[in-house]
Amino acid sequence: MKQEDLATNNVTVGDSHTIAFSAQGDKVYRNDGLTLHGALKRGLKTLLRNKPIDGRITFCLGSIDIRHHMLRHEIDLHKMITEYVRQGNECSDNDVFYTAPVPVEFEERRIPQSGFYKKTAFFGTLSERKDLTNKFIDILDSVSNGKIISPPTNWYSMNPELYAKTYMEHGSSFHIAPPFYYNNDWGKTSIEDAFA
């Protein structure tokens, strides 16, 4: 059985972070290495595998662009995100949501070569990538009218090493660990909530 054959109305589609942002019961159309720039060039509708989507669509794109490309090139971020939301909203008459990029990675983390671009794990300073991530989220929130799925806001301001050790997969990757996926309520429990 393939993901597109699942008997569910909702889909989360995008890059390798997609599974972390999918809701319970969503189909997941994961495209490793897919950039927002590349997806927009192809057209977001092409990501839906020529299958009708009768429910909610969640797009998960932008993290790779922030890590490798947006600081290398002059990008009109507002224009890019406006086009992202325009194309996304054309994919369905139902709800369309967009995910926030993942928090900026801990620079000392060992990353596999598959995550490199031009022999580097990232481009720009940690501060520049954090600023870019925050701008991306602010613009996306505004342009999509708040239709964002985002990890807890404190993940974006915490010490990057602590974030990596607490919330990311063990070993070497850029990904959120499964216990902290969106469909696991970002790892929250009633006990943690009681002491928050």
Residues 6+ apart with CB under 8 A from 64: 15, 33, 34, 35, 36
All structural domains of the chain, each given as residue ranges with its CATH number in brackets, are 3-195 (3.40.50.1110)
pLDDT at site 165: 86
pLDDT at site 174: 75
pLDDT at site 141: 97
**CA-based nearest residue to 86, from 40, 126, 23:** 40
Q: Where are the alpha helices (DSSP H) in the chain?
A: 18-21, 36-42, 63-64, 77-89, 126-143, 154-157, 160-167, 190-195
pLDDT digits (tens, 9 = 90+) for 8-63: 899 999 998 999 999 998 999 999 889 999 999 999 999 998 887 889 999 999 98
- Please give the radius of gyration of the chain, using alpha carbons only, rounded to the nearest integer: 16
pLDDT at site 50: 86
For residue 88, what are the β-bridge partners? none
- pTM of the entire predicted model: 0.87
Confidence grade of residue 139 (pLDDT, cut at 50, 70, 90):
very high
Confidence grade of residue 145 (pLDDT, cut at 50, 70, 90):
very high
Which value, to the nearest 10 degrees, does the dihedral of the CA atoms of residues 177, 91, 41, 127 take? Answer: -40
Taken in order 169, 174, 178, 184, is the CA torsion positive or negative?
positive
pLDDT digits (tens, 9 = 90+) for 50-104: 887 889 999 999 988 887 667 788 889 999 999 999 999 999 988 999 999 998 7
Residue percentage of the chain with pLDDT more than 90: 53
pLDDT digits (tens, 9 = 90+) for 155-194: 999 988 888 888 988 766 778 899 999 999 999 864 455 4
Q: Give the H or E element holding residue 97.
A: strand 96-99
